[in-house]
Chain A
Amino acid sequence: MRRRIYNTETRVLDNIAINEDYFKLKVRVEKKVFEKAQPGQFAQIQCSQEIEVRKNRKFEDHSELANYIRLNIDKLNESQLILRRPICIHNAYKEKDGRKVTHIFEFLIRKKRKGTELLSKLKHGDNLNILAPLGNPFGYKKSVDEGREVLIVAGGMGIAPIVFLCNKLIENGVRPTIFFGFEEDFSINYHSTMRKDLRALSKKVHIASNTLVEDVFVNGFVTDILVDHLKKLSRKKLDAIDIFSCGPTPMLKVVAAIAEQYDVNCEMSLEERMACGFGACMGCVCKTKNNDDEKYKRVCVEGPVFNSKEIIFATQS
C-alpha cells in the first residue's frame, strides 16, 4: 500500500538562523499530515516568489488560506523557481498550550542557492506550501519490535533526519548509539542546536571531527570509529544490529562497505536532485541491484531510505 501524500499549507512558527549557512525552519502542519510522517521521510517545499505573495497575511483556517492561494497563484512573477526543494523532516512533535495542540515539523536547511535562500527569509506568520510526507522511511519499527540494537551513523547535514528517528526510537523504548562525524564548519551547528538533544536521545554519542569539541572525540572519520566499535562485537551481537545512516555519498559508500564486511543490516538515506518528488518524472534515480538484476529506483518513492545491500554507488567521482 502506497502512502498518501498531502498538498498542504503550513504556517511558519519560527525560522532560526544557526549561523550564516544553516537555519532551522519550524512550521505548523495539519494533524493528519503530522500523523502520517515517519522518520526518513521528506517534504517537497515550494520556494518561489510566491512566498512574497503570501507574506504576513493572517488566515483563520486552512480553507481560507487555500482559497487565498487559489485566487493569487496567478500573480506569480514570470521569472521564478519552478521546482520544489526536497527537505527531510528534521523533527516532528506536538506543543501543548492548555487544550490547544500544535503539530510541528522542523526542517534543518543549509543555504545553498536561491531556493534555500528564499526559505531562509521566511518569518513567523508566513505561509508555506509543502507536499508531505514523501518517500520510504527508516525501517525502525522492525528494530523496535524485535528488540534490536540500533547504531546511527551520520555525517554533517546527514544528521537532519536522525533527530526525528532518535525521537521515535526513544518513544518506543530503544536507545540508539550515535556515531557522528562533521567538519569544522558544522561544529557551531552541533554545539548550538543538537549536542544536548543528541545526548538525551542516545546511549552515547561518538564524535569524529577535525575540530575540537567538548566531547571526547576522534580526529578522523566517523567510519573509523564505527569500525572500532563493530570489531569488538561478537557475531551474535552483530546479527542483532541495525545501522541507520545518512550523510555525504562518499561516507555512505564506506558505511555500506563496512556493513557488508561485518554482515550487519544497514539502511541509508540518499540524496538526489528531484523534480516532482512523488514518482511521476523518474528524475531522481539511483542504481540498485537485486541478485544480478540491476535497475534504477526512484529516490523519492522507493527511497530515500534503501537497504545498503541494494545500492550500487557510482564509480565516477
Chain B
Amino acid sequence: MRSGGAFALEQFPAPHLHEGTTTAGMMFSVVLCLLPAGLWGVLLFGPRALYVLAVSVGTSLLTELAVSGLFLRRFTLGDGSALLTGLLLGYSLPPAVPLFIPAVASFFAIAVIKLTFGGLGRNWMNPALGARVFVMFSWTGPMTRWAAPLAAADALSGATPLGLVKEALAHPVHGVRGPIELLLAGLHPAGLKAGFFPDLLQRLGRLTPAGYGQLALGTMAGCIGEGSAFLLALGSVYLFVKKIIAWEIPAAYLGSFSLLAWAFGGLPFGTGLFRGDVAFHLLSGGLALGALYMAADPVTSPLRRPGRILFGLGCGGLTFLLRTWGSQPEGVALAVILMNMLVPLLNRIGARPAAEVKK
C-alpha cells in the first residue's frame, strides 16, 4: 500500500511501533529456560533419556508439520509451540519408558489435543499434560517403572520419592514423623551409577546431602526433566523477569499447595495439624515443572489476574488432595487439566461490565 508525493510512504493503522515480542520468541525463550533441567536429566539418566526426548520432540514436530499442513493448509512449525510441547512432554516421561510411548503421546498431544481444536491458541487443555495423562492411564505399567539415577546397576529399579512414600503409607506406619524419614530409610545409598560421566556424578552424589539435597538436585528416580526443582526454578527466573509467564499462577499454585501441605501434610503420619513437610512436597514429583511451566501456559490459563489467582489456588488444592488421598502418587497433571476445564468460567471473573455512561 503505497501512494503519492515525492516519497512513497508506507501506510497502516496505528500504533506503528511494537515493543518487540513475538509468539515464537516467547516459545523459544521457554524452551531455552527448560534446557538446563533437561540436560541435567540426560546426564543423570543416560542416553536412554536422550532417545525419549528425541522421539517426543521429533514426533511432535512431524505431527504438527503433517497434520497442520494437510488439514489446515498452514505451516506452523515456526511458532515454536510444537517444539515446546514435545519437550515438555518428554520431560514428564520416565527415562526407561519404551520408545513407542513418547511417539504415541506426542502424536496425541499435537493431533488430538491441539489441532482438532484449531491449533495454537485454541486448545483448552495443555497438550503435554493431556498426553501424559493419556499414556499414563493407557500404559500404566511402563509409565511407572523408574530407573534410578546414581543408583544400582539394575536399571529398572527404584521408586520415585512420592511413590515410595505412598507405598509406605499404604500400611500403617509407626514411629515415622514425616516423608523424609521414609525416604531416607527406603532409598538406595546414594552415588553408584550414572548415565554419563559416572565417576564425576558419583562423587557429586556422595557430596549431595541426603534427603532434601537429593530432592532439589533431582538425583533420584523420577521423570527426565522434572527432577531438579532447583534448575527448573532457575530457568523460570528469566521467564518471570521478561513477563513471559504470569507470576500470579505459580505464586498462587505453590502458595496454596505449601499452605495445605503444612497444615494437613502431617495427617497421614498421625502427627496432627500444622506438622506437614512443605519442603519435601515442594521439591518432589512434577510440582516445579507443572507449576512453573505447565499451569502457566498462557493458552490454557485465565486472562485476568483474579482468574489467574483462583486458577492457581485450584491447582494447588487439587494437587494436594490428589497426592495425599488419590490412588496415584502424583497429582500435578490431573489437577492442572481439571483446572484447564474451568478456564472459560474463570475468565468471567473480573470481567468489568461496560460503564453505563452512554445512553
Real binding pair: no
Chain A residues within 8 Å of B, Cβ to Cβ: none
Chain B residues within 8 Å of A, Cβ to Cβ: none
